[in-house]
Structure 1
Amino acid sequence: MEPLFGVVLALIVAAASPANDSCTCATNKWAVCAQDGPGNCICRLAGSDRPVDCSTLTSKCLLMKAEMMPLKEKRLWRPPQGVLDSDGIYNPDCEDSGAFKARQCNQSSTCWCVNSAGVRRTEKGSGSLNCSELVRTRWIYIELKHKRRSNAFHVPDVTKALTQLFESRYKLHPKYIAAIKYDPPLIQIRLHQNKKPSWDVDIADVAYYFEKDVNNDSVFHSNSKLAVSVNGDTLAIDKLWIYYVDEKPPEFCMRQLAAGISAVVTVVLLTAGIGITMLLILRWLRTRTYKKFECKEMREMKATSSELP
């Protein structure tokens, strides 16, 4: 009976082991997951108690917050060879829903307003800065440049490949892909989303996941390198730019613009003043030369007339 019991126990352990190994968050490598009963895997954002829905993308605000954590706290879920690229990254304040708060501040009490993509849309000010609403980013333009190749891709193939990529990898419904333009070697992907239903991913989160993939710092747990195939040929992305267009124009004040305009006006006035001064000097020199020449001629004429008989 004991050998049979041992076999049964071994089978139970073997069956449970894969479940433990599979307790990971496929869409967020920074999530800490643990079994909470048979077949129930609970994942939370690293360094906080926020639950993570691993069936969809994590909000950009929560991802940026996880990235700003000290490396020693991230050692368990980030590869040791990983390098933190903090360019443009800050420690954001997030709503309970994961959305950015309209006003963001740093440790020195300098504050600014952001859009729904977390991108600054005002000048930085003091802690008294008021951001009345979170302005939604309705359009995102993703522009990329692929590496040089002998032959350009066919436009329909590029459109199909990128549409499938955004739908399968980033869970984005094709209706939010407004257009895909291809002018070799440049590709532009236009994402448009007026309002985000609760069941759809946000285009700002999609753009952020894509940017991290292109920069070989994937957020996905597998950390698999992004591979885009266009009709069997690899689309090797060389450069990437992302532009955010809000439903309301940015609110940068006119101080910087006024300073720039006044600087231009000053340069123009100085240039005009120098030009006028040079013209007056040249005119004065010419007049003086002419008078000297005229006096010389008069003296010569007088001398000549006195010599005449």
Structure 2
Amino acid sequence: MEDTGKNMMKWRIASSAENNCTCVTNKWTVCAQDASGNCTCMLVGSNHKVDCSTLTSKCLLMKAEMTPLKEKRFRGHPRGLLDNPDCEDSGIFKARQCNQTDTCWCVNTARVRRTEKGSKSLSCSELVRTSWIYIEPKHKKRSSAFNVLEVANALKHLFESRYKLHPKYIAAINYDSPLIQIGLNQNDSEKSRCDVDIADVAYYLEKDIKNDSIFHSDSTLTVSVNGDALDIEKLRIYYVNEKPPEFCMRQLVSGISAVVTVVILTAGFGITVLVVLKWLQTRKYEKVEIKEMGEIRAPSLQLP
């Protein structure tokens, strides 16, 4: 059943391509031309119309990615329902997410859990924004380091052209071979409806690095620095919320004002790590508690 569903989806997408009607920014779509020749694309598994001139929201993408898995059985449950996200009509995550066992929790705009898990009676008053995202790519070993300015220019161009991100949201790009540090900052007050969300940008980038691109035809991420390929072999992504988490305080220390979730990608595999940090008077982040793996510190970026 799963193979049949995938084959049908591939056939539909292929048919769209033959009609020269495709969604460049989202392969999880079914597109068709009307009598006037206008191309309309709908998200796989839903009736959401997709704006193919920009990125699709992370919530809708995750929902579409679950579609081919809904018939797959996993330990007696449909696997596609285990992590199927709940989205608002606008495409953002609902503040409260639940699984098939009616266990619920509150999330941020990147769908990172920020409260204890509870029943369906759990109330989540708001969807807390992830206002800072720190991205740490590490490129493969080479005989000499890249030029710092050329690396920064290449990555700025990547975020602006491929991921449609306005340059005002790129707070900093630092380079100390082989590690690159990128800071994205986007507050609710400055983000317009036309601007892509930095959480969506990070998801598209994560998929690109894992060789599972969301883009329809340009499936391979290629970054060139003065003619040389910038080959990324490892990636860490830190998500920082505007508001502190609401976990039971007996599990945390006092003075916490930010929670960071780190996504580590190596050789195509991802590990999600929860890192709890506190804000010091020196205005530097210090690790307080780490769950699920060893020590990680949030990057200290030098802002321009």
When normalised by structure 1's length, the TM-score is 0.70
Partner of 1:241: 236
Q: Distance in 1 between matches of 2:180 and 2:40?
A: 39
Give CA deviations for 1:16-58 in whole Å, capped at 9, x if unaligned. Answer: x999531110000011101112321110000111100101100
Can you give the 5+ residue segments of structure 1 that lack an aligned partner in the other structure?
1-16, 74-85, 259-309
* Shift of residue 118, structure 1, vs aligned partner: 1.3
Change (3 A) 1:46 1:246: same
The answer to whether the Cα contact below 8 Å between 2:134 and 2:182 also exists between their aligned partners in 1 is yes
Partner of 2:30: 32
Instruction: State which structure, 1 or 2, has the greater radius of gyration over its C-alpha atoms.
Output: 1
Alignment-mate amino acid for residue 64 of structure 1: M
Q: Within the alignment, does 1:254 sit opposite 2:249 as a pair?
A: yes
Q: How does 1:116-127 map to 2 (within 5 A)?
A: 116-127=109-120
Which structure carries more helix by proportion?
1
The answer to whether the Cα contact below 8 Å between 1:29 and 1:223 also exists between their aligned partners in 2 is no
Give CA deviations for 1:143-195 in whole Å, capped at 9, x if unaligned. Answer: 11111111011110110000000101011111110000111111111001112
Q: 2:160 aligns with which of 164, 167, 187?
A: 167
Q: Within the alignment, does 1:198 sit opposite 2:196 as a pair?
A: no
Partner of 1:154: 147
Partner of 1:45: 43
Q: 2:202 aligns with which of 183, 197, 207?
A: 207
The answer to whether the Cα contact below 8 Å between 2:139 and 2:230 also exists between their aligned partners in 1 is yes
Partner of 1:56: 54
* Shift of residue 244, structure 1, vs aligned partner: 0.7
Alignment-mate amino acid for residue 242 of structure 2: E
Alignment-mate amino acid for residue 92 of structure 1: P
Q: How does 1:1-309 map to 2 (within 5 A)?
A: 21-71=19-69, 90-195=83-188, 196-257=191-252
* Shift of residue 129, structure 1, vs aligned partner: 1.2
Q: Distance in 1 between matches of 2:216 and 2:36?
A: 22
Alignment-mate amino acid for residue 220 of structure 1: F
The residue matched to 1:157 in structure 2 has which SS? helix
* Shift of residue 119, structure 1, vs aligned partner: 1.2
Q: Distance in 1 between matches of 2:100 and 2:17?
A: 42
Q: Distance in 2 between matches of 1:250 and 1:242?
A: 18
The residue matched to 2:203 in structure 1 has which SS? helix
Alignment-mate amino acid for residue 240 of structure 1: L
The residue matched to 1:22 in structure 2 has which SS? coil
Q: Distance in 2 between matches of 1:156 and 1:19?
A: 39
Q: Distance in 1 between matches of 2:250 and 2:22?
A: 50
Give CA deviations for 1:241-277 in whole Å, capped at 9, x if unaligned. Answer: 111111111111124348xxxxxxxxxxxxxxxxxxx
Q: Distance in 2 between matches of 1:120 and 1:243?
A: 14
Q: Distance in 1 between matches of 2:155 and 2:19?
A: 32
Alignment-mate amino acid for residue 53 of structure 1: D
The residue matched to 2:137 in structure 1 has which SS? strand
Q: Distance in 2 between matches of 1:237 and 1:214?
A: 7
Alignment-mate amino acid for residue 29 of structure 1: K
Can you give the 5+ residue segments of structure 2 that lack an aligned partner in the other structure?
1-14, 72-78, 254-304
Q: Distance in 2 between matches of 1:94 and 1:242?
A: 23
Alignment-mate amino acid for residue 220 of structure 2: K
Change (3 A) 1:72 1:132: closer
Q: RCO greater where, 1 or 2, for CA within 8 Å and sep 6 or more? A: 1
The answer to whether the Cα contact below 8 Å between 2:16 and 2:31 also exists between their aligned partners in 1 is no
The residue matched to 1:207 in structure 2 has which SS? helix
The answer to whether the Cα contact below 8 Å between 2:16 and 2:22 also exists between their aligned partners in 1 is no
The answer to whether the Cα contact below 8 Å between 1:27 and 1:220 also exists between their aligned partners in 2 is yes
Which structure carries more strand by proportion?
2
Q: Distance in 2 between matches of 1:174 and 1:203?
A: 11
Change (3 A) 1:65 1:19: closer
Q: Distance in 2 between matches of 1:233 and 1:98?
A: 38
The answer to whether the Cα contact below 8 Å between 1:123 and 1:252 also exists between their aligned partners in 2 is yes
When normalised by structure 2's length, the TM-score is 0.71
Partner of 2:282: none
